[in-house]
Amino acid sequence: MFYKEKVSRRFLLKSALGATGQLGIAGSIQNALAQEEAHSSRQATILVNLRGGLSQLDSFDPKPTAPAEFRGEFSPIATTTPGVQFAEHLPLLASEFGHFAVIRSFCHNTSVHSLAQSYVMKGDQFTKAPAMGAVVVDQIGWQVPPVYVAIPDMPPNAGLLGPNCDPYNLLGDGGELLKVSPHPQDKAATLDLQKRIALLESLDGRFNKAGVSSEVLEVRRTAYRQTTELIDSQALRQAVNLELESPKSRERYGADRWSQYLLLARRLVEAGSRFIAVTFDDRGGFGTWDTHRDNFKDLKQFLPRLDHALATLFRDLWERGMLETTQVIVLGEMGRTPKVNANAGRDHWPKAMSMLWAGGGVRGGRVIGATDDEAAAPVTRPIGPKDVAFSVLSRMGVDPAVVTMPPSGRRILPNGEVIKELVG
């Protein structure tokens, strides 16, 4: 199919620049490349968090020749790239492999869920470091619709960048859409809101007259102002109203919760949001993918849902012409033990895991890095959370090497590097 042959415009321009020695032509190409770099600053990111940690052997890095206690119960299936196999419960993603790359050598050294979640979302083990989305807010500033959105709950927060850079939590308890009310046409509700805001301003005015200054008070004032802007935003109201989506599109995504989350994420990108963190987790606690027991029984239920949701999003973004400007990253905080335990489960294993990366010029159908015969450790190209975060932010036009955190001025991600193989 055509999408397999698609090469990013930036890649072609750089190739042409290296091949030409004519000054006029080279100058034109340099200008085009400058425009491409400016374009990168408008990139959006959808980060899909598989809370709990997906088994690499039972998904994107099967080891069919390993002993039974390692390879598990699932059989491998072919993908659109010769020689690359996925687990049998991911047939749609296998057929859409031309849209994304797989990194099989993602790894780190943290096996505690909360710490590992923080690490992969930040790229930094410093507990007060900001999540990637918070860095984007810090660089872009407040806007409506929100720059950084969480679906359905809060990922790691902004840390030292402050609460004004925290994600906007779009969904309520149970993952249901919050009612964005009062509606602008509801005059009674709007008047009531205006009265509340007037009362708040009156109370705040007394603090000002008394010469009282408080950082907490300023944060609250900002939050109230931003909340009012969100309530008044017709763009946000339309973005979160899935009933405005075409019947064909709604049918395509289906009624499953995770697919609905990704449809919502796509609509938010269209509305102007820049970083959407989506969590696939129906269990709470340590997460859906934390399969210490009955790993294969559970994955037979969850993998088909993951398969449908992601494959639909990739195809939808491609057909809408959004994949070039929207990168999608899919990862968990850790992998699972290569050897199946006595409870037919797999335990914590941060030393090797698989992740997906699509969009923004990423060349699909390729595998980056490799693990050993038991998927226990990378044997080529180990990639850590700092490299992932560095690549995400750099591709969004943010230089993580120069962004600093108050009050110390500590640099964000001082040691990361871009994963060049994604586009090379």
pLDDT tens readout for residues 321-371: 999 999 999 999 999 999 999 999 999 999 999 999 999 999 999 999 999
Measured CA to CA in angstroms, residue 406 lies from 40, 131, 137, 162, 403 at distances of 26, 15, 15, 9, 10
Both structure tokens of 297:
């029984």
Both structure tokens of 319:
């057909």
Both structure tokens of 372:
């050993």
In tens, the pLDDT along 128-184 reads 999 999 999 999 988 888 999 999 887 778 999 988 899 988 775 444 554 444 455
Both structure tokens of 342:
């006595």
- Domains belonging to the chain, first-starting first, are 1-40 (no CATH), 44-175+244-422 (3.40.720.10)
Q: Is residue 208 scored above 80 in pLDDT?
A: no
- Those residues with Cβ within 8 angstroms of residue 133's Cβ, 6 or more apart along the chain or in another chain: 45, 47, 147, 148, 155, 167, 275, 277
Q: How far is residue 8's CA from residue 43's CA, in Å, rounded to a whole number? A: 14
Closest CA to 44 of 356, 325, 422: 325
Confidence of residue 186 (pLDDT cuts 50, 70, 90): low
Residue whose structure tokens are 């586009």? 423
Q: Is residue 8 scored above 50 in pLDDT?
A: no
Residue whose structure tokens are 């109203």? 241
- Those residues with Cβ within 8 angstroms of residue 14's Cβ, 6 or more apart along the chain or in another chain: 33
Q: How far is residue 173's CA from residue 32's CA, in Å, rounded to a whole number? A: 47
Please report the pLDDT score of residue 398 as a whole number: 93
Both structure tokens of 81:
């790239």
User: Residues 116-139: what's their mean pLDDT?
Assistant: 94
Please report the pLDDT score of residue 226 as a whole number: 66
Confidence of residue 192 (pLDDT cuts 50, 70, 90): low
Element holding 353 (H helix, E strand): strand 353-358
